[in-house]
Structure 1
């Protein structure tokens, strides 16, 4: 299940994107006007030239940094992994943003051993951001994520992240209320006619 959108968090200097938390929705910073003037075609996203290993490195490094920051209360490393726009937020501000996750004891450590299932393949947005989304199929809680990375000195740096947890594995429906159907009784009623099954007779050998 894909994370629905980049969500409200720490406001960057350009006022375009915020570090994501599980708070209220915020339009994704990578969204731009489809057309700037009449007759000009809108820029579109295109597939990113990144292999499976690159995806694993980026997703795990970002989410594990967030997981460790939530567990220790120290957001310095997470901040250092971000782009210059991301770093306009102090470590203390990041701590305030992720306070709810920290209090809830949200655990993302499963991303260290599981492989992500992508619901949005890596693509380059019109503003040059690397964008991807997906989930880690952990149990009992599944880690859903959406990530944006900004190119800085030929490296992808965290620009925005959205993470939430949903129940993992198949879920049975709730028990319906009201009268429940009784299981069928295999015992025939007393007045039901009995049916005897006659064994097949063996054919008699034919004498020569």
Structure 2
């Protein structure tokens, strides 16, 4: 028997920074679900590749991270909020956004270097069944590596922010690094934590600054 489980996920997660997401997901279970899901994913990937190229994706990532940088710099989160979907704006007012990103702001982390760097995707761009675009990756900044997980929803032809996670974490020491080689991307970037339907408190920030 086929059944449909509806899950609405709204969460705030943090490592050295914090993350906020507001997304709707539909999970189909049943005998025909795996085949239908694969067909749907293939169609979504085909549509994504037809509508967005690497340059457009890079611009989308950079514009969001820089909007966060400006918000942290000025303490004014109105622009970042206005870039969001209606649900995002409903869930997060300026006061809440300021509180959520207080750890990143308090550490004085400067996200501006991403302007002259190309983002790296650690996962293929994903277009979900709910028409959400999920982008996960990092920028090769040092001594702190800027990592991101961003979710967008297209409204009236414009990709609106539906979730944003930005972390600044110390680049891990690897054998390649000790011998003068270049660490592999996998070694530098642990797998991102998966979203959960709960609110999590931020861990104590690492005392490292640019």
TM-score in same-fold range (> 0.5): yes
Q: Is the 8 A contact 2:134 2:152 kept in 1?
A: yes
Structure with larger Rg? 1
Provide the alpha-carbon RMSD of the alignment: 2.9
2:157 aligned residue (129, 154, 159): 154
Residue equivalent to 2:27: 33
User: 1: distance between equivalents of 2:107 and 2:161?
Assistant: 24
1:102 aligned residue (87, 102, 105): 105
Q: Is the 8 A contact 1:116 1:135 kept in 2?
A: yes
Residue equivalent to 2:94: 91
Cα drift, residue 90 of structure 1: 1.1
Q: Is the 8 A contact 1:19 1:159 kept in 2?
A: no
User: 2: distance between equivalents of 1:27 and 1:59?
Assistant: 16
User: 2: distance between equivalents of 1:62 and 1:21?
Assistant: 18
Which structure has more relative contact order (CA 8 Å, sep 6+)? It is: 2
1:119 aligned residue (115, 119, 122): 122
Q: Which runs of 5+ in 1 are unaligned?
A: 1-13, 174-208
Residue equivalent to 1:17: 10
Cα drift, residue 80 of structure 1: 0.7
Residue equivalent to 1:71: 73
SS of the residue 1:16 aligns to: strand
Pair 1:31–1:77, CA change in 2 (3 A): same
76-85 vs 19-28, which deviates more?
19-28
Residue equivalent to 1:193: none
Pair 1:20–1:51, CA change in 2 (3 A): farther
Q: Write 1 or 2 for the structure with the bigger share of strand.
A: 2
Q: Is the 8 A contact 2:66 2:111 kept in 1?
A: yes
Cα drift, residue 166 of structure 1: 2.0
Pair 1:54–1:70, CA change in 2 (3 A): same
Residue equivalent to 2:192: none
Residue equivalent to 2:197: none
Pair 1:87–1:24, CA change in 2 (3 A): closer
Q: Is the 8 A contact 1:143 1:166 kept in 2?
A: yes
Residue equivalent to 1:6: none
- Aligned residue pairs total 159
Pair 1:140–1:164, CA change in 2 (3 A): same
Moved over 6 A (4+): 23-28
Cα drift, residue 60 of structure 1: 0.5
What are the Cα deviations for residues 52-92 of structure 1, in whole angstroms up to 9, with x where unaligned?
11111110010000111111110001001111111112111
**Which TM-score applies when normalising by structure 1?**
0.66
